[in-house]
Amino acid sequence: MTVYSAVVTTGIYCRPGCGARPLASNTRIYGHAAAAEAAGFRACLRCRPYRVAGPISADMPRLVCAAWQLIIAGVLDGGTEAALAERVGLSVRHLRRLFLKHLGASPDQLARSRRAHFARRLLDDTDLTVLDIAFASGFGSLRQFNRSMREVFHASPTELRERRRRADRLVADGGLALRLPVLPGYDWPAMLAYLEARAIPGVEEVSGGVYRRTISVDGAPGVLEVRAGDAPAHLVLLAHLPYWEGLIHVVDQVGRLLGIDADQSPGVTALGMDPVLGPLVRARPGLAVPGAWNAAEVAIAAAAVRAPSELVGAGARPERAAGRLAELVDGLGTRVPGLPGGLTHVLPDMAREDLAGYGLPQDTEDLAFRLGDPEAWPAGDPWLKAAVADRFPSGLEPGRWRPWQALAAMHLMTDAALGASR
């Protein structure tokens, strides 16, 4: 996991690898940047810790993870800790106690920190105006934005932009480019292969090492592209959107889809000792568990295939399954002319409870797996079935890898897919 070291004599906190060498007696360690900021420290100007990934550990208590996902979804952008506590079924006092114990900062402090860090990256990477950045980062007003940036970084947004370095600005031929920080060793090629194998035609595609997809932003179409960055610590997102307000939540959805919003290192440590999975985990320690853009897309892919032997998007897709997917996309989606590559449709952003009206499955193992349940086991996935049959001919003990079943499944599926391609 990412840890941050703060120096009591300077009031500055740094990310791992910073060149500063303070005395150990003057150093305090924090597991999250927001915790260091809550203790009164500000970010180092040299190592710029807001530019590295800082996801919460996947072994956090379920209630903390659930509340954190709601914060990412914007519950605290204009809401209160009381509203957040009610959503997860806790008192405000107990919710704050859990966050302070496990993350070192209150929900409000974490929400403020993530908005400020996102805004700081936009100030570095883009030429968006300060006003546009304020609303793109989830702030309710320019005044709130200025106050928060001064509290977190001890400088105004204008002053912070003046400090950006020559190589910071990302230049794109159309669209808005920004960096997506990832944990060291993040396995982008494996994630790209997973997404390519399960891409919904007309909505998603992988071409030339780039993942590309359509999205709907309040009913208006948009296109996102993700590629490897010029450094292993980040990917690059290119966004073509109708407007930038609420961009932070679009980027968060990308993060969930790519599995970069959770630190899987506790699971890697646990599974690395398993006699079967150990060699796979040690070979690909940066493998992440993929998420989904929304529940509807997972259900659409699941609905396209009913026979166990049929694959959707893996290798040579059966003709009937491909045809069923195309029918669902055409029936549920909106055709948008002029999109790049093979993109043709935008799917509606349906909620999970809306799926029944379209005859789509509402509760599948794939759904739990792609929506972030660490104990989910997508038994119907053809690659997973092939891997289990190959490695456990006499059967697999149920729940063998709890609570890291999703990560175990991802390793087995990846290994099976790689074996099929050799």
Element containing residue 240 per DSSP (H, E): strand 234-240
Class of the CATH-defined domain 176-421: alpha beta
Which tens digits make up the pLDDT trace of 193-240? 999 988 899 999 999 999 999 999 988 899 999 999 988 899 999 999
C-alpha 26: how far from chain center: 34
In Å, how far are 42, 55, 123 from 110, measured between CA atoms?
14, 11, 20
- The ranges assigned to domains in the chain are 1-54, 108-162, 176-421
For the residues 165-175, what does the mean pLDDT come to? Answer: 83
The span from the CA of 148 to the CA of 50, in Å, is 14
pLDDT band at 371 (very low <50, low <70, confident <90, very high): confident
* CATH superfamily placement of domain 108-162: Homeodomain-like (1.10.10.60)
Do residues 41 and 14 touch, judged by C-beta distance below 8 A?
no
Residue of 404, 405, 414 whose CA lies nearest to 269: 404
The span from the CA of 71 to the CA of 78, in Å, is 11
DSSP 14-58: E-TT-S----GGGEEEESSHHHHHHTT-EE-TTT-GGGS--PEET
Q: What is the DSSP secondary structure assignment for residue 213, as one 8-state letter?
A: E
The pTM score is 0.89
The two three-digit tokens of residue 110, written as one number: 């974490």
Which tens digits make up the pLDDT trace of 386-421? 899 989 988 888 889 999 999 999 999 999 887 765
CATH architecture of the domain with residue range 1-54: 3-Layer(aba) Sandwich (3.40)
Do residues 393 and 407 touch, judged by C-beta distance below 8 A?
no
pLDDT higher for 392 or 380?
A: 392
**Model confidence at 68: pLDDT above 90:** yes
**Model confidence at 358: pLDDT above 70:** no
The span from the CA of 220 to the CA of 378, in Å, is 33
For residue 382, how many other CB atoms are within 10 A of its CB? 19
pLDDT band at 287 (very low <50, low <70, confident <90, very high): very high
Element containing residue 176 per DSSP (H, E): strand 176-181
Do residues 264 and 59 touch, judged by C-beta distance below 8 A?
no
